[in-house]
Amino acid sequence: MELYAILKIVWAVMLGVLFIGLGTMVGMDMGVGTLLRFVGRNDAERRTALNIIGPHWDGNQVWFILGGGAIFAAFPTLYGTSFSVFYVVMITLLFSMILRPVAFEYRSKADSRLWRASWDWVFLVSGFVPMFIYGAAFGNILEGVGYHFGWTGQYYQDESFLSYLLNPFAILCGLMSVSLSIYQGGAMLMLRADNPIWARARHYAIAGGIFAAILFVAGGVWMQFLPGFVMQAPVNPAMLANPLHGQSVAIVAGGWMHNFHNHPALWALPVVGVVCMLAGSAMLAAGRTVVAWWLGLGAWAGTIMTVGCAMFPFLMPSSTVPDQSLTVWNSTASEYGLGCMLAVAAIFVPIILSYTSWCYYVMRGKVHTADVVNDTHSY
């Protein structure tokens, strides 16, 4: 296989890794945000919950930034097109997301009850909405998006945003993503908090895991009947990136299952996902939170890899002009660009992983309510 084709595949895999990291790390923090008003019944408890992720949320959020940055750098045409066709949804995601950094830093810096209660609602919105949209976007993409390209490479939208905002499959995917984030956030709260937060978080996290499993299986069954996108003729994986020509795509009912029919070993992925969700819930019930946290990572990995393998090589299929669907082959950066980025990633990803781990190591151990309230540096 040509180097360019290999680089494309490597970056598609990297994108998957970033999405898994995003789901796990950002999802965890957003789960804590969603649960904040429920696991903390008074101000001191809520501050305890916030300070559990206090030292880490900002670093974790970079998974999100990096996800966007990697799409921009490795799949520039996908980046411009997807962010634009989902404009209303993306802007809503952005609005809900950017409230969060401010909420962390500002919430506990003034004593007014109204001030703090308002920011607690912000945490709920900025935890729930982004995770819902994150999942729903995958749902929308699986269903295909109405767009086509003009000769210059400018995209044109062929359907109103309402048609993809309000549809049941996307809502199911969105709720699944929220459930997993509640699972992961709850597990983190259990790791670092004592009773009563511990007991309440356990309750919600177990429910999150079980709900996620149910929705995942339901979504999988649904996908058997969903119109999927299939390549009509083999394409050259090393083709120059240009979505205007070079491929012929058909829409086939159940088309997303083609890769699973051709490679039955792929069935291991959804199985891993469901097993992690259920086993994780069981571990939480047994109080084994560290194992449960890692099983949450497994659940995200299973889910993202299932979706990725079902769609491969499609990244964002076009429902109106399927031949112009964006794929791993026709929307990547240049060979040179992908190579440069890979070299940079090879150097920095290990560094990032090591200092992130060190950071968690330094801040290890339970967070006690009394310490939080008396510490002037805490949130």
Closest approach of other proteins to the CB of residue 67, in Å: 9
Residues in region 18-37 near other proteins by CB under 8 A: 37
Structural tokens at position 355:
């200092």
Angle (CA) 203-276-11 rounded to 5° is: 125
Contact 295, 280 (CB under 8 A): yes
Closest approach of other proteins to the CB of residue 92, in Å: 8
Letters for 149-168 (x = contact with other proteins by CB under 8 A, - = none) are -xxxxxxxx-----------
Among 16, 55, 227, 237, binds other proteins (CB under 8 A): 55
Residues in region 345-364 near other proteins by CB under 8 A: 345, 348-349, 352, 355-356, 359, 362-363
Closest approach of other proteins to the CB of residue 198, in Å: 18
Phi-psi region of 233 (alpha: psi -120 to 50; beta: other; left: phi over 0): beta
Closest approach of other proteins to the CB of residue 271, in Å: 33
**Where does 144-167 have alpha helices with state H?**
161-165
Closest approach of other proteins to the CB of residue 45, in Å: 9
SS3 breakdown of the chain: % helix, strand, coil, rounded to 5?
Answer: 75, 5, 20
DSSP character string of 264-316? GGGGHHHHHHHHHHHHHHHHHHTT-HHHHHHHHHHHHHHHHHHHHHHHTTEEE
58 contributes a contact to other proteins by CB under 8 A: yes
Among 3, 87, 218, 224, binds other proteins (CB under 8 A): 87
The helix/strand/coil state of 130 is: helix
225 contributes a contact to other proteins by CB under 8 A: no
Letters for 236-275 (x = contact with other proteins by CB under 8 A, - = none) are ----xxx-x-------------------------------
Q: How many residues interact with other proteins (rule CB under 8 A)?
A: 87
Only segment of 23-31, 50-58, 181-189, 280-288 that touches other proteins (CB under 8 A): 50-58
Contact 303, 216 (CB under 8 A): yes
In the bound state with other proteins, the residue whose beta carbon lies nearer, of 71 and 191, is: 71
What is the Cα–Cα distance from 19 to 357, expressed in whole angstroms? 19
Letters for 327-346 (x = contact with other proteins by CB under 8 A, - = none) are ------xx-xx--xx--xx-
In the bound state with other proteins, the residue whose beta carbon lies nearer, of 218 and 359, is: 359
113 contributes a contact to other proteins by CB under 8 A: yes
Structural tokens at position 296:
């949450």
Closest approach of other proteins to the CB of residue 253, in Å: 31
Structural tokens at position 92:
């809503």
99 contributes a contact to other proteins by CB under 8 A: yes
Place of tokens 């979504």: 219
Among 9, 10, 43, 158, binds other proteins (CB under 8 A): 43
> Measuring CA to CA, how many Å separate 313 from each of 142, 256, 342, 373?
12, 11, 20, 52
What is the Cα–Cα distance from 201 to 32, expressed in whole angstroms? 9
83 contributes a contact to other proteins by CB under 8 A: yes
Residues in region 163-222 near other proteins by CB under 8 A: none
Give the residue among 245, 226, 247, 244 at the shortest CA–CA distance from 235.
247
